[in-house]
Structure 1
């Protein structure tokens, strides 16, 4: 948004800072070398430029004057986060990265004084044993500077380390077999068995399951409606929309689970339409730790101490892919907004099909019995 006056113009940048411009006596368009935290500060700067012109002492803006302060990375980054429409957990994650990694390294430096060599040195000496948080930190730094480039505050992005914003898991996630899943479910308390079943067969996230309510279950059509999710940020419990727009979806429940759904609704869910399917003992949204208290021993009983609860979603995705579901169908069922995540499940299903094919060949080559 821009504001025009008799002399110069002010526009608000995507970061929330303000930029001032004017036409000088040389007929050229000039821009303040720094952005301003408020519109009033930008106005004062323009008034000073106009006064210098009227007095005949004007020079093109360049080096900041004695009353001007260079826009620092810390100021810009904090405005950048504040101006973004972010999920609560994402906002908390970004603020933590800024406070613990980016601001200590770059916070007091002028935004346009940070060079590629500075970023490369910081990356080489930061969190070498924590590749995930280092990748997240670099990705946030790169994104902030991309906005600064769009704001015309820096000429180029100093974050140029190829692949530094991504990380890979140390090993592949192994989905649960149907036999393992059966043992796992049987080892859970009766009131939580359906939670495990829906997590696996419907590939639902924990936050989606913990916020499912009676009104979200359509017994006639055999679907659960995912409309909300619950997250915890520090000690605060926040109910909001799912992780992405694609997360708002209807998920068909495999027919063989519908009897378990009905039984659970009758035995463990209140009669109110907004009654939670899987409440905590106090009736509020269940916390992950409350589930893990029962889930961890159950996965040991199933012989899968490595199986995280989120891996049940992976299990369900691979099962869906093994039915021949298309990429678009997988994306819709899982609530993914981009193909990349859904593709890995198709690859996993293809790998499993190769195992099956190899086993068939072994059967064909086995000597006849008797």
Structure 2
């Protein structure tokens, strides 16, 4: 057992490590979760020493620990392979917690959360969100992970998340916008965002990739954009911009982009970089609703639209893979398969037309 000024660490029979810290009153309190390594346990103690000094501590054994508070602490202290959650992952979990879990289950005591309550919550959430959304599955998986940690911490006897298949995402086919709908979206948004909508549709760049573009990533003469900021080497690529979009991109760069070769191509009215949630709420959702697109339509669906149009234009699997910036051909094959299915449907319709009675010419 490793002694520390602010607490102790001990190895449990399970092989995991428990951290215990001294509160202001001199009493030891167990951490709200156990840890895979001794290093992780010590890191948690160091992180929470500041909270102890401020008097911001909770005795998880004697106080009523509510699900919302426990889940928030879980996000803060969660480690994956010894590292904190990635910012995007932590942001996603907090969003799921605050929007979809806490309003119903947040005030439940951890030890009082039942399988029945979870089933009721999941059923209502699925009904409210509707088909085609991955939110219920993501929310359920997050809640299940939090409760599993509570089991490991011996706060609860068993995980109340026991709905078979609830964590599996069953996405319906994503919306396929028409040319008219894409043009309507471009016409609906503020002029500042017109080129971004068209670029998302016709180049299949992700919002994060568009937001990171700088002036020297855009070759207006060659008609290309180069993605330098990507999660993988495959994501770093140069994409040709369809000629009919180039005039819009040129006007945008001249009117709205930041000055200088390293200036951002797409920025907000006050010069701030694009933030995913802000853009979705302030730009995408109003335009989507005005055009009459389904509520589960996302800006990311424009990426699929561009990929499908490229497949219709005859792009090979390798060409689609390169254009989309994928490390594997799986997604490119998906779009090609969709076009093959469409072709088979057309062929069947042609045969059906032949079976219809043919009138004689007058």
Same fold (TM over 0.5): yes
Counterparts of 1:117 and 1:123, CA distance in 2: 10
> Normalising to structure 1: TM-score of the pair?
0.59
Measure the CA separation in 2 of the matches of 1:186 and 1:121. Answer: 43
Partner of 1:354: 344
2:21 is aligned with 1:39 = yes
1:125 CA displacement: 6.2
Corresponding position of 2:236:
249
Contact 2:125 2:136 in 1 (8 A): yes
Q: Residue 162 of structure 1 corresponds to which residue in structure 2?
A: 164
Q: Distance in 1 between matches of 2:190 and 2:120?
A: 52
Deviations 1:63-99 (A, max 9, x none): xxx9953894635423211123332641430441453
Which residue number corresponds to residue 271 of structure 1? 259
Q: Which has the larger radius of gyration?
A: 1
Instruction: List alignment gaps of at least 5 residues for structure 2.
Output: 31-58, 78-84
Contact 1:102 1:137 in 2 (8 A): no
- Structure 1 segment 75-154 matched on structure 2, within 5 A: 76-83=70-77, 84-87=85-88, 89-96=91-98, 97=100, 99-105=102-108, 108-110=109-111, 116=115, 119-120=118-119, 122-124=121-123, 128-131=127-130, 134-148=136-150
What are the equivalent positions in structure 2 for 1:296-311 lying under 5 Å apart?
300=291, 305-306=293-294, 309-311=299-301
The alignment yields a C-alpha RMSD, in angstroms, of 5.1
> Per-residue deviation at 1:156?
5.7
SS at match of 2:128: coil
User: Which structure would you say has the larger RCO, counting Cα contacts within 8 Å and 6 or more residues apart?
Assistant: 1
User: In the TM superposition, what is the alpha-carbon distance from 1:195 to its structure 2 partner?
Assistant: 1.8
Q: Which residue of 2 aligns with 1:4?
A: 2
Distance 1:21 1:101 in 2: 36
Is 1:318 matched up with 2:308?
Answer: yes
How far does residue 251 in structure 1 lie from its aligned partner after superposition?
4.8
Question: 1:142, 1:157 within 8 Å by CA — same for their partners in 2?
Answer: yes
Q: Does 1:222 align with 2:227?
A: no
- What is the distance in 1 between the residues matched to 2:96 and 2:115? 22
Deviation at 1:263, TM superposition (A): 5.2
TM score, norm. by length of structure 2? 0.60
Q: Provide structure 1 residue ranges, at least 5 long, that are not aligned to the other structure.
A: 12-19, 23-28, 47-65, 228-241
Instruction: Provide the C-alpha distance between the structure 1 equivalents of 2:164 and 2:239, rounded to a whole number of angstroms.
Output: 41
Tell me the equivalent position of 1:69. Answer: 62
